[in-house]
Structure 1
Amino acid sequence: MKTKYITLILLLLAYLCTNAQEVPDTSQQLTLQKAIEIALVNNYDIKIASGELQKAKNLNSIGNAGLLPSVSLNGGADYSNKDTEIELLSQGSDGAPSKVVIEQDNAGSATYNANARIDYTLFDGFGNIYTYKKLQSADALQETIFKQQTEATIVQVAQQYYQLCRAQQNLYLAKESMRISRERWQKAMDKKAYGQATQLDILNAEVDMNNDSTIVLQTEQSAIQSMKDLNLLLGVPIQNTYAVDNSISFRNDFTSEEILAAALLHNSRLLTQQQQEHISSLDVKLANAGKYPTLSAYGQYGYFRQDNDAGQLLYNQNMGTTAGISLKFNVFNGRQQRTREKNARLDYMSAQERTSQVKSEIERDASNAYTDYIYKRKIVELQKSSLEQARLNFGQTKELFQLGRVTSIEFRTAQQNLLRVAADYNDAQYQAKTAEFYLLQLTGQLIQ
């Protein structure tokens, strides 16, 4: 099958169609391209990853970073009813002090208040700015993680698709071998009727035919299981069945230098680690922001009213604006600030070391993957040559067997040899093709 690389449009399709479901047409042949498109819409891991991506996008705003003011509305009302006794000090007409006692039962008191308030942090050591940058970086990181999950799903689908192709091809070979064995048995029966074959020839042919029937059942079971495994990856009903396109073609434009360069530039795992390192550097700046004072401002417009049945103050009402600023500076908090700064720097250093480690691992993996692909391609060519020789050998042996110049054992050996070589050739092709997909995943070329 000619490889068709998945575009960013399909990636966005998976993101936008999280709740949609696409089902393959069981009446038509399923291609790898179609299988990947279906998986990008239905695959459970991609749906989960797209949900995490949406959460990161929801958090990526200046409001969540504290760069916008907060506005609140408050209001309330209180009422009380009490027996009240108040003793007041007053001055008589002669200037002498005297006491006045006021007593009132069931004295009511009501209070009403309402206000609109706005608060804003003017300066906090640029902590809110670094927080916003961290949210942006976290959003970009989640996009890379989503791409990484999409790439992993594409490779899984390709592997399982080719596993199904291999199983169906092996089933075809097993059925073809059984057909040959049935023809041999039938000819032995015909020859025996004319006295040209013995009962032993019939029994040998029947044993081989039964063995081939067992192999057909085993390979058919394997094909059914492979079909169900693929359906699970596609997110479609497990019992779906369809034919697959088992034609294969390979790319011949890989070079070791280009593979290594592309892996170091576009590998999703390395990009993820580099983004995490950048986030760690922002954590250092956020920790350092705690050393600076915090300057805040607020403004308020409010209404207040109080009514009393007893006391000197029977009625009080005010309405208007209030504004102010506040400054907070941490002088000493048990060296917690210093600890946060040290730990943030240590985390950043660890992230840098981890990036170097991942880079080295990617270099190794890319080199090994390229070597693995090249050698698997060579094995394909060798197996192709072996298959041609096995077909030629079986054809000649079949002719000689019909002429009675070779034994049934020699014919059976040639038949089994052809079946084994054909199966090995199929395995070599599909292993090389999955190695190609892994190489594309390492170099970030699956999604362009």
Structure 2
Amino acid sequence: MSLFLGATLLAPLLAAAQQGRQQPITPVPNPGPQTAQPRTVPPGPALSLQEAIRIGLENNYGIRIAQRDEQIARNNVTRGNAGQLPIVNGNFTRNYTINNVRQEASNRPEPSVAQGARSNQLNGNVALTWTVFDGLGMFIAYDRLRTLEAQQQQFTRATVEQTIADITDAYFAVVRESGKIRAFEEALKIGQARIDLTQAQVNVGVAAKVELLTAQVDFNADRSALIQQQELLATAKVNLNNLLSRTPATDFSPADSIVVTNSLAREAVLQGIQQRNSQLQQARLGVDIANFDRRLIAATRWPQVNLTSGYGLNRNVNGAAFFGGNLITNTGRTQGFNYGVVATVPIFDGFNRRRLEQNARIAIEQSQLRLDQTQLNVNSAAEQAYLQYQNRLQLLQLEEDNIRLARQNVAIALERYRLGLLAPLALREAQRNQLNAEARLLDARFNAKQAETVLRQLSGELVQEPTQAR
């Protein structure tokens, strides 16, 4: 009787197992392409990396401030600002006076008195001053202004490069977090399949209810992890919107996946650093500016020759003049043209010029030291970045090979569990291994792309030409 009862209870499970052997193998779990929209995240407008960079370059506050500074530097590059053009000033003066006058004379017994005598004076002139020689200081000053403009252009370029690098990292961070959400969604599908299979086993009496409860607990743990991952994705989107100077709540879906270039050569990177690195360019221009400052001080040792010219009009109306005992009004007017040459020869200034020249030479040494330090720092950063780039490419290849194994392992484990040939703990372990492998693969792609971006930034490939002020 007991044998008959046992055979009766096992018959449905054996039939199910037999049907399972006749069914095709469970497909390999795959979270899908990187740009696929997660099912648990509301869809948003598609945003490509190129569009994100365009928006960032237009709206980023740091770039806009740097562009205004560049525009100021460009406006300063004029002949007049360098002192090569004449200066013309017009002056006008109009004075009114009211006087009480008392005048005494030896030939008059009584003094002459005037109350409220009115007088006025008008003076107008146009004066021109033109420096025709100052030890070539005006030409040195003009070259210095042009160098300052070039230095500000390199600063703007560096700001643009850093912004592009930040936007690129932030954009692919969104892609990475979206991919992790899809990995959790795949894990939930596997967890639900496990619950359904365990429920069937409980129904036929070949599995204890504790196994079903364990499957449900693991499923809820994956749901909790998915909720936390959704928060990380929302934070990544806020960070990108901040770089794009957009409203933090602006929703979007990344349209580009993480594609890593594996062909960057070390020699090409080092050559690009020497030719286009904005930090090095700024430091080199700093040396040139320091040399211009020293030459400007040396130019002050030469005489300065100015040409002067002008035209003036002077008119006086004196209402308090006496002629004998009579009060009369005296009017005078002078007008005419003047011109001349003014030469200033420096003789002694308390040794201040020598002090300034000594300080200028020290400033040149400082700027050269900054250039050497910048060269060393950039070369060190390039070596470190290239080493990271190579290592992360190797890790990426390893994780891409590993993810295929993990997905096949989960597919086989799920099939064996459906047939009753695998313990629940082993299936859960395979599921965790796949989830961890998906996360490591996404992190490896992101880290490799980040190293590539750093190399392109150091070699000046992110921005080919200096950005013009808007």
Question: Scaled by the length of structure 2, what TM-score is found?
Answer: 0.85
Aligned residue number for residue 22 of structure 2: none
**Quick one: structure 1 residues 99 and 380, their matched pair in 2 at CA, closer, same or farther if it must change by over 3 Å?**
farther
Contact 2:262–2:393 (Cα < 8 Å) also in 1: no
* Secondary structure in 2 matching 1:322: strand
Aligned residue number for residue 397 of structure 1: 413
Q: Residue 249 of structure 1: which of 251, 254, 259 is its match? A: 259
**Quick one: structure 1 residues 241 and 155, their matched pair in 2 at CA, closer, same or farther if it must change by over 3 Å?**
same
1:445 and 1:122 map into 2 onto residues whose CA distance is 46
* Secondary structure in 1 matching 2:253: coil
Aligned residue number for residue 407 of structure 1: 423
* Secondary structure in 2 matching 1:251: coil
1:355 and 1:103 map into 2 onto residues whose CA distance is 81
1:28 and 1:408 map into 2 onto residues whose CA distance is 41
Aligned residue number for residue 55 of structure 1: 72
**Quick one: structure 1 residues 88 and 176, their matched pair in 2 at CA, closer, same or farther if it must change by over 3 Å?**
farther
Deviation at 1:251, TM superposition (A): 2.5
Tell me the number of residue pairs that the alignment of Structure 1 and Structure 2 aligns: 417
Cα-to-partner distance string for 1:126-174 (whole Å, 9 max, x where unaligned): 2222221111111111111101100000000011111111111111111
Aligned residue number for residue 46 of structure 1: 63
In the alignment, is residue 434 of structure 1 matched against residue 450 of structure 2?
yes
**Quick one: structure 1 residues 323 and 101, their matched pair in 2 at CA, closer, same or farther if it must change by over 3 Å?**
farther
Aligned residue number for residue 340 of structure 2: 324
Deviation at 1:65, TM superposition (A): 1.5
1:231 and 1:418 map into 2 onto residues whose CA distance is 32
Deviation at 1:252, TM superposition (A): 3.8
Aligned residue number for residue 112 of structure 1: 122
Aligned residue number for residue 221 of structure 2: 211
In the alignment, is residue 336 of structure 1 matched against residue 352 of structure 2?
yes
* Secondary structure in 1 matching 2:135: coil
Question: Scaled by the length of structure 1, what TM-score is found?
Answer: 0.89
Structure 2: where are the runs of 5+ without partners?
1-32, 34-42, 323-328, 465-470
Deviation at 1:330, TM superposition (A): 2.7
Q: What is the aligned-residue identity percentage?
A: 29
Aligned residue number for residue 70 of structure 1: 87
1:117 and 1:100 map into 2 onto residues whose CA distance is 48
Contact 1:174–1:212 (Cα < 8 Å) also in 2: yes
Amino acid at match of 1:181: G
Cα-to-partner distance string for 1:285-330 (whole Å, 9 max, x where unaligned): 1111222222222211111100112337811101111122222233
2:333 and 2:103 map into 1 onto residues whose CA distance is 22
1:130 and 1:101 map into 2 onto residues whose CA distance is 68
Aligned residue number for residue 275 of structure 1: 285
Structure 1: where are the runs of 5+ without partners?
2-25, 91-97
* Secondary structure in 2 matching 1:85: strand
Cα-to-partner distance string for 1:103-133 (whole Å, 9 max, x where unaligned): 3222221101111121112222222222211
1:174-323 paired onto structure 2 within 5 Å: 174-311=184-321, 314-323=330-339
Deviation at 1:34, TM superposition (A): 1.1
**Quick one: structure 1 residues 442 and 99, their matched pair in 2 at CA, closer, same or farther if it must change by over 3 Å?**
farther
2:345 and 2:106 map into 1 onto residues whose CA distance is 46
Cα-to-partner distance string for 1:326-347 (whole Å, 9 max, x where unaligned): 2223322221111111001100
Cα-to-partner distance string for 1:372-399 (whole Å, 9 max, x where unaligned): 1111111100111111111111111111
1:405 and 1:187 map into 2 onto residues whose CA distance is 12
1:86 and 1:99 map into 2 onto residues whose CA distance is 11
Q: Residue 379 of structure 2: which of 363, 368, 371 is its match? A: 363
Amino acid at match of 1:327: A
Segment drifting more, 290-299 vs 396-405: 290-299
Q: Larger C-alpha radius of gyration, 1 or 2?
A: 2
2:109 and 2:145 map into 1 onto residues whose CA distance is 68
Aligned residue number for residue 446 of structure 1: 462
Q: Residue 372 of structure 1: which of 373, 382, 388 is its match? A: 388
Aligned residue number for residue 12 of structure 2: none
**Quick one: structure 1 residues 99 and 404, their matched pair in 2 at CA, closer, same or farther if it must change by over 3 Å?**
farther
Deviation at 1:444, TM superposition (A): 0.6
Tell me: higher relative CO, structure 1 or 2? Use CA pairs within 8 A at least 6 residues apart.
Answer: 2
Deviation at 1:27, TM superposition (A): 5.2
Segment drifting more, 356-365 vs 419-428: 356-365
2:461 and 2:202 map into 1 onto residues whose CA distance is 63
Q: Residue 145 of structure 2: which of 117, 135, 160 is its match? A: 135
1:397 and 1:420 map into 2 onto residues whose CA distance is 16
1:192 and 1:87 map into 2 onto residues whose CA distance is 137
Deviation at 1:83, TM superposition (A): 1.4
Amino acid at match of 1:150: V
Contact 2:175–2:258 (Cα < 8 Å) also in 1: no
Deviation at 1:246, TM superposition (A): 4.6
Contact 1:86–1:311 (Cα < 8 Å) also in 2: no
Amino acid at match of 1:71: V
1:407 and 1:190 map into 2 onto residues whose CA distance is 15
Contact 2:241–2:250 (Cα < 8 Å) also in 1: yes
Aligned residue number for residue 383 of structure 1: 399
Segment drifting more, 237-246 vs 383-392: 237-246
* Secondary structure in 1 matching 2:78: coil
